């Protein structure tokens, strides 16, 4: 099954298609914006446009190249998604394992184009970076451009990916091979290595309108949603198709846990610490990382609100004061550090207790 159509983001699309037409498309792009608004879908749209045999402002959709990209089968479009850490001991075997795992994910997405959110523990490990390096060193199969999409690029583990791998990736981004295009995506550019961020031209995507989300759900979700279900999903989505599609219970639970924890943090050091210790033993690590992500999103939303931008998710009122922006940014840095540590072998309760202390100081 081909990918569902790209919804919205008309200004970004126009800007990108003009850049292609003028031969001015930067070779390294960073698409940023809230989770589930279609950053990776836009990257694939751009791959289609770059490959299309009869391009105009939009990919034609009908030519061989367009159809191959839409079916996730173009040999020169490489889509790197976060995957579970490879288990093989030998580094070369790890690279093979990463390649097989990514191929498997692509198969699943071909079968189910409305795919679920990536598990919180999946990352771009050293093996994925080596795979990217290996593929980038080859020439184009079809003789044209090559596109490398690095989805959720902030999941590149800096610590684990060793200096060598980080440097290899940076070198690729600094001097991309001729005819290649790198598109990185992230919810939060501040979570990216600064050196990576500085090499990419940013394109910011905003939340979609409720009408766009609703139109997408009506056209794509089978069986058709009842009007009550549709309404609830659109309200919950906050302008994100992904949020509308992903398991509402899980997202809601993570958001609720994040809100409770932030309330405790805002009440001071004692309550924050108590709350961390009371935290039930986390059965699945995914729940813990989902909560940290929800904390980061709430703080980022508060930071936007504190500089006068509209706020679309529930944020503790005390965080919205104007003088809060600096401390919110500092808090986001702490959460990003904790998020990275959570991928390693750290006790979640201790991590949460330390993070609570840090946040209670800055907020």
Q: How far is CA 109 from CA 68, 104, 112, 153, 269, in A?
A: 14, 9, 5, 19, 45
Q: How far apart are CA 268 and CA 3, in angstroms?
A: 47
CB 13 to Zn ion: min, Å = 15
The beta strands (E) that lie in 13-144 are given as: 28-32, 77-80
Q: Which residues contact 205 (CB under 8 A, 6 or more apart)?
A: 9, 12, 31, 32, 33, 34, 37, 38, 39, 42
Closer by beta carbon to Zn ion, 60 or else 336? 60
CB 47 to Zn ion: min, Å = 11
Q: Which of 16, 42, 49, 52 binds Zn ion (CB under 5 A)?
A: 52
| Pure H helices in 86-144 | 91-111, 126-136
Could you say whether residue 63 binds Zn ion (CB under 5 A)? Answer: yes
Omega cis (within 30) before 218: no
Closer by beta carbon to Zn ion, 30 or else 66? 66
Closer by beta carbon to Zn ion, 59 or else 151? 59
Closer by beta carbon to Zn ion, 55 or else 239? 55
CB 65 to Zn ion: min, Å = 6
Token pair, residue 224, equals 């058709």
CB 61 to Zn ion: min, Å = 6
Report how many residues bind Zn ion under the rule CB under 5 A.
5
Stretch that binds Zn ion, among 31-39, 56-64, 100-108, 336-344 (CB under 5 A): 56-64
Phi/psi at 202 (5° precision) = -80, 145
Token pair, residue 147, equals 């596109």
Q: Which of 6, 19, 60, 311 binds Zn ion (CB under 5 A)?
A: 60
CB 19 to Zn ion: min, Å = 18
Could you say whether residue 28 binds Zn ion (CB under 5 A)? Answer: no
Q: How far apart are CA 185 and CA 192, in angstroms?
A: 10
Could you say whether residue 66 binds Zn ion (CB under 5 A)? Answer: yes
Stretch that binds Zn ion, among 61-69, 158-166, 258-266, 355-363 (CB under 5 A): 61-69
Could you say whether residue 46 binds Zn ion (CB under 5 A)? Answer: no
Closer by beta carbon to Zn ion, 20 or else 63? 63
Stretch that binds Zn ion, among 51-59, 88-96, 198-206, 243-251 (CB under 5 A): 51-59
CA proximity to 252, closest of 218, 296, 287: 287
User: Could you report how far apart the first and last alpha carbons of the chain are, in Å?
Assistant: 47
Residues of this chain that bind Zn ion (CB under 5 A): 52, 59-60, 63, 66
């Amino acid at each position: 099954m081909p990918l569902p159509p790209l919804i919205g983001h008309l200004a970004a699309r126009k800007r990108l298609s003009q850049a292609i037409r003028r031969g001015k498309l930067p070779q390294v792009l960073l698409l940023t914006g809230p989770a589930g608004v279609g950053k990776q879908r836009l990257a694939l749209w751009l791959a289609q446009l770059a490959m299309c045999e009869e391009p105009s402002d939009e990919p034609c959709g009908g030519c061989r190249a367009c159809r191959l990209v839409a079916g996730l089968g173009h040999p020169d479009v490489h889509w790197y998604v976060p995957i579970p850490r490879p288990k093989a001991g030998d580094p070369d075997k790890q690279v093979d394992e990463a390649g097989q795992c990514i191929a498997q994910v692509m198969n699943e997405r071909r079968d189910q184009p409305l795919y679920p959110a990536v598990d919180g523990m999946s990352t771009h490990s050293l093996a994925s970076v080596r795979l990217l390096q290996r593929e980038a060193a080859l020439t184009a199969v079809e003789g044209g451009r090559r596109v490398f999409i690095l989805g959720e690029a902030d999941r590149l583990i800096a610590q684990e990916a060793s200096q060598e791998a980080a440097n290899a990736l940076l070198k690729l981004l600094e001097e991309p091979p001729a005819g290649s295009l790198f598109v990185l995506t992230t919810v939060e550019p501040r979570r990216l290595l600064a050196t990576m961020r500085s090499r990419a031209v940013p394109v910011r995507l905003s939340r979609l309108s409720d009408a766009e989300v609703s139109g997408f759900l009506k056209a794509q979700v089978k069986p058709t949603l009842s009007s009550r279900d549709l309404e609830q999903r659109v309200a919950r989505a906050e302008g994100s198709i992904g949020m509308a599609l992903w398991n509402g219970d899980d997202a809601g639970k993570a958001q609720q846990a994040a809100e409770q924890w932030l309330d405790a943090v805002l009440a001071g050091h004692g309550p924050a610490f108590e709350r961390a210790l009371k935290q039930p033993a986390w059965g699945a690590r995914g729940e813990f990382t989902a909560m940290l992500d929800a904390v980061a999103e709430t703080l980022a939303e508060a930071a936007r609100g504190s500089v006068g931008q509209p706020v679309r998710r529930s944020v503790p009122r005390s965080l919205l004061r104007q003088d809060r922006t600096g401390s919110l940014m500092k808090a986001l840095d702490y959460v990003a550090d904790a998020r990275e540590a959570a991928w390693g072998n750290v006790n979640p309760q201790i991590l949460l207790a330390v993070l609570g202390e840090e946040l209670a100081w800055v907020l």
